[in-house]
Amino acid sequence: MSITMHSASVPVFVRLLGNLTAWLDKAEAHAAAKKFDASVLLGMRLAPDMLPLKTQIQIACDTAKFTIARLAGVEAPKFDDREATLDELKARVSKTIAFVESIPATQVDGSEERDIALPRRDGVLILKGETYLRTFALPNFFFHVTTTYALLRHNGVELGKGDYLGPLQPAS
């Protein structure tokens, strides 16, 4: 099997979003053990001018969602940014996983040279599909996923590299 635009994107998003869900479970358990309201975590920031945990997770989801929608040339589902609890954030993650898994691999494959329209503050930027995946979509996705992890670790949730990576699949 050769690497493809689908194999380089959907499984990466699904895997890390699944791992992230498990971090949120640990965050809930941590809050229960320490007897604080878990939703306090949604507002935590690493710096005053960085986005809070809630927004980090929303953008991680949206990056996965829009990446696959744009590469496949389909409309992305709309998610309102109204989450107020870890459970609601987990539901958004689940909806994101379900959407990216719903797109047939054949629709994403072959998108290397497709023109992708990326809305930016100062207009729309057109990138080739593979350039978009490599220089925007994957780095942006990992940025928000890793910042979520860093925020949880910084706030005392017991996580390790194994939680970040998830279980590795040995060659059979």
Based on the shown chain and the rule CB under 8 A, indicate whether residue 66 belongs to the binding site for a copy of itself: no
Q: Is the dihedral angle over the CA atoms 105, 107, 112, 115 positive or is it negative?
A: negative
Q: Report the C-alpha gap between 74 and 42 in whole angstroms.
A: 31
For a copy of itself, the closer of residues 63 and 96 by Cβ is 63
The one among 38, 44, 46, 105 contacting a copy of itself by CB under 8 A:
46
Which one-letter DSSP state was computed for residue 117? Answer: E
Q: State how far the Cα of 104 lies from the Cα of 107, in Å rounded to an integer.
A: 6
Phi (first) and psi of residue 52, to 5 degrees: -75, 170
20, two tokens: 């992230």
85 versus 130: smaller Cβ distance to a copy of itself = 130
Place of tokens 């954030």: 89
Pairwise CA distance, residues 155 & 149, whole Å: 10
Residue pair 4/109 in contact by the 8 Å Cβ criterion = yes
For the bound state, the minimum distance from the C-beta of residue 111 to a copy of itself, rounded and expressed in Å, comes to: 9
Give the residue with the Cβ less far from a copy of itself, 33 or 82. 33
* Residue 74 beta carbon to a copy of itself: minimum distance, rounded to whole angstroms: 20
Could you say which residues in the range 13-42 bind a copy of itself, by CB under 8 A? 15-16
Binding range to a copy of itself, per CB under 8 A, among 10-18, 32-40, 80-88, 89-97: 10-18
Binding site for a copy of itself (CB under 8 A): 1-5, 7-8, 11-12, 15-16, 46-47, 50, 112-113, 115, 118, 125-128, 130-131, 133-136, 138-140, 142-143, 146-147, 149-150, 153-154, 156, 161, 164-166, 168-171
